[in-house]
Chain A
Amino acid sequence: MGKKKEKCRKKTLLQKTLDGTTPTLNNCISQKHKICMVSDFFYPNMGGVESHIYQLSQCLIERGHKVIIVTHAYGNRKGIRFLTKGLKVYYLPLKVMYNQSTATTIFHSLPLLRCIFVRECITIVHSHSSFSVLAHDALFHAKTMGLHTVFTDHSLFGFADVSSVLTNKLLTVSLCDTNHIICVSFTSKENTVLRGALNPEIVSVIPNAVDPTDFTPDPSRREDGKITIVVISRLVYRKGIDLLAGIIPKLCLKHPDLNFIIGGEGPKRLVIEEVREKYQLHERVRLLGALEHREVRNVLVQGHIFLNTSLTEAFCMAIVEGASCGLQVVSTKVGGIPEVLPEDLIILCEPTVKSLCEGLEMVIAKERAGNLLSPAAIHNRVKTLYTWRNVAKRTEKVYDRVAKEVVLTIDERLHRLMFSCGPVAGCIFAFLAVLDFLLLLLLKWLVPESYMDRAVDATGPHGLWRQWSLPRASPNGEQKSNYHLSHSSVELLNDASC
């Protein structure tokens, strides 16, 4: 099928050239890449970064690229797994240090990553999240190996405290020789450019997306005669749960028909529980605890209003999900949130209890008067805004651009490190880069690349996944899976003695 399509495309290309139009090769047949996504955060961990990586990979596979994912082992989940459409995931045996981030010595992951990059013939290494140590490690080694590198930043950092000064320095070092950086919002871009002291031209803005089919409205699930506010977020300080704890009693005392549903888990759950106990709101404030991704929609559709109280946010997926389910969104005006939804779908408030309460009360009054947009209308507006296909298309452009660039040679890289990252950190990391290079030479001598066999492609232009899966579906193929005798060590010995 893929070949057929290609043929078709070639035909049209031919026709076009005959017609006299001269499309550049790049625009028409975009080159196929072999991409390795690297991050510490992947399934079974759940969150924004995780779903971003997964969905983006799926859409890139759909567009004919080869994609693999590298992450660290999660408990029993180690080794190689295949996900939908032949997405290959490496769960590497690295020690987890803190918050699902691996510990690093910078060098120990080189042999493993080199093995993967060589075996899979990777051309572009795409790292995700600045919190992920593995992602930075992979960038570092990929540059040493002369691969193209792309980095996606999902979070915002301040500049004020000691810890952010240090992490920003590391980010500067890590990004100064990275080919391209992707941010999820314009605010995030500004932040990353400042933190990494980067040329803004190599930073692209590609927003996250939401699968609109997963988040469809269902007004029948709403409780009649009540107004329900839904909050879905991790219950941590950065999500402004303290503000929420202030809003709940204030509004609940004023509006007896107001209910809260709070999904998520975290250290700040105590605060909410204490408020609930103190004001005896057990029936009106439901704490659902940690939610699985597939449960989120069922919780969202029970509400009228989606409340987000984050104190900082690069791109808030939650509000898009909420709006996609037809809820009126009320959110704090922080980070990239104002860029995400059009003004008529979101009420932006200052991050104070007072302002949020005012915003909520305005919405409540509208809801009572029936002046709010219908859930279906909101859904229809939102569903075209952010799609993964669009994200993949735009990311592909970044890859095309990166593939044309020249990777810095070691001396250029050292120069870049020494002169753009400050005298101390620059020297240290230049030294580390030299060590990494020497280690790579040693590895090349120990295990030459020509000795390493190449992995069979599951995805990409020569992907075998489709060829495998086709006969599997036919009844004839079933015999293969069925014909194994369970609980016996089936040894087929090849001698024909009767």
Chain B
Amino acid sequence: MSAELGLAALWMAAALAFLQLAGGALAQRDAEAPLAALVRPAAMLQGLLALFSFAMLLWVFATTDLSVKLVASNSHSMKPMIFKLSGAWGNHEGSMLLWVTVMALAGALIGWLEKRLPEKTMQATLAAQGFVAIGFYAFLLLSSNPFERLPMPVAEGNGLNPLLQDIGLAFHPPTLYMGYVGLSVAFSFAVGALLTRQVTPEFARVMRPWVLGAWVFLTLGITAGSYWAYYELGWGGWWFWDPVENASLMPWLAATALLHSASVLAARDALRAWTIMLGVVAFSMSMVGTFLVRSGILTSVHAFAVDPERGTFILALLAVYIGGALLLFALRAGSVSEGRRFAAMSREGALVFNNVMLSAILGIVLLGTLYPLLTEAFGVRVSVGPPYFNPVGAIFTIPMLLVMTIGPLLRWREDNAERVRVPVAITTALIVTTALFVMLAAGNISLLPLLGLAIAVGLAVASLMPLRGRNLLRTPLSTWGMVVAHFGIAVSLLGMASESAFTEERLVAVAPGDTTEVADWQIELEGIDPVAGPNWTAMEARLLARRGGGEPHELRPEARSFWAPVQQTTESALLTRWDGQLYAVIGDQAPDGRWQLRLWWKPLVTLIWLGGLLIALGGVLSIIGRLASDIRRRSADRREADEHDDLAQIRGGRSGPAGELV
């Protein structure tokens, strides 16, 4: 019964999305149209229905209702409850339902709360949101029904891919989807503003928290995904330029550009058309990402199935939405009047530079991701990896990072180089000194890690400079947000550069009792034990790691065998120290009885994810700061209006609603 209720709710939500689109569209011609008043309620109800539908899906997974096809093929009655629930979105249909649910909830939230923009613009925005939602409802209901019943219930489910039975991964897709879908709101606002010709600083202020929120979730999602790949895949790498990783990186790059250009629009009323364009591009990248991951066009660790019908469907959706939005942009961009001007040497100038570099990097990642698909159409099979992405991306990343050290110190509109001479000199000196020091100390080091280390140090110091001469307690939260996020970039960069420059690796076969070494660690294999878990058995190695003859620490890497579905995984063991991580993987037993052991010492590797968290924290601080100042401004406006009102009454004048008097 619950599956049918979920499906019914989904159909009703789809119908409401139609109503929302129709009402919003009619309101553009006639603000008094009867449907116009229904746009906001429709958005709210649609959100609730989608949420109900998703709750029903969770319910059938929680109760392991094996008459539902999706449960039968992705779950198992023996699975721990948390993985039963996360199994609900660890598959194609469920994850698309989650996508749509988050999107409907976002629409409900703006329908309920957002009152700053002109009502007509809001209706156009909600109509756009409804229009996008319709496509995804159609996709779910026509080609990916998560509630499909089996003619005969099965006795037991197929289980979930063991690689996905991981607490980190349970929360990875929802986090990324919040990011993707947050950008759909930015897209809808951009379309609404373009349709009603309201590309104003107020529009940027309304859109900004959504962009920031989406960006925070994307940052967290990418950080978590990278850490998951690092410890779960057992390859010791933290970024593989896998198309699925790129699918989350591309919207992040676009969102980063968008939130900076939205800041320029909000503060200075410049970059109007550019901000709209980025709003369209950012959500397009989310959809391209969804297409790449969901269509099965790329087969990688993350891709679950190959199904050309679905791929075609998403491709059609992509064409309609991206094509439509770009067409609208082409028709209307000319009528968006030029914003205020600025000098090249100004905060705006630096932000424009940052935007152009981010767009270039986005283009490079996009081309590198699509190239193998393109050549495959011509019968040539290639794969594109780090030898392409690292150097080509760096050509644009390095200038961007250098400008980042100085941009936040510049004044809006116009500045002169003299004023920032001292900070530039300090940063340059830091970068050069670090580079020379590393070259002398480490000797043989490749160029990119060297530049990475040097720029990371310079940027870390430069990113704190905007705080110089300020009272730290009175510094606005949004400034703190920027400082923390930029500092996070430096921290993360330091981790990446250090990991790729200084990692030491050791691959040996050892018998129990043997000791081996990696960097300044001595690692002894104490023994190998068989162990069992709820749905797996494993060989577990007991390793004792000592650093320079100090205290022993135990590590227990495992080679696991799952039985539903049948699959082996390697469970790495990590020992975290302040200056790095020791990473151990156990392999097969060699014919002579020795065990393969792969060990890495990765200096400062944890900074990569710590930096990611700092970047996200910066985003959160910025959202809080913006919302708080917005609420303050609104209540100040209201107070002023009230005072005005009182004054009018005291003077015995005509009393009435504040709005009439102001």
**A, B in one complex:** no
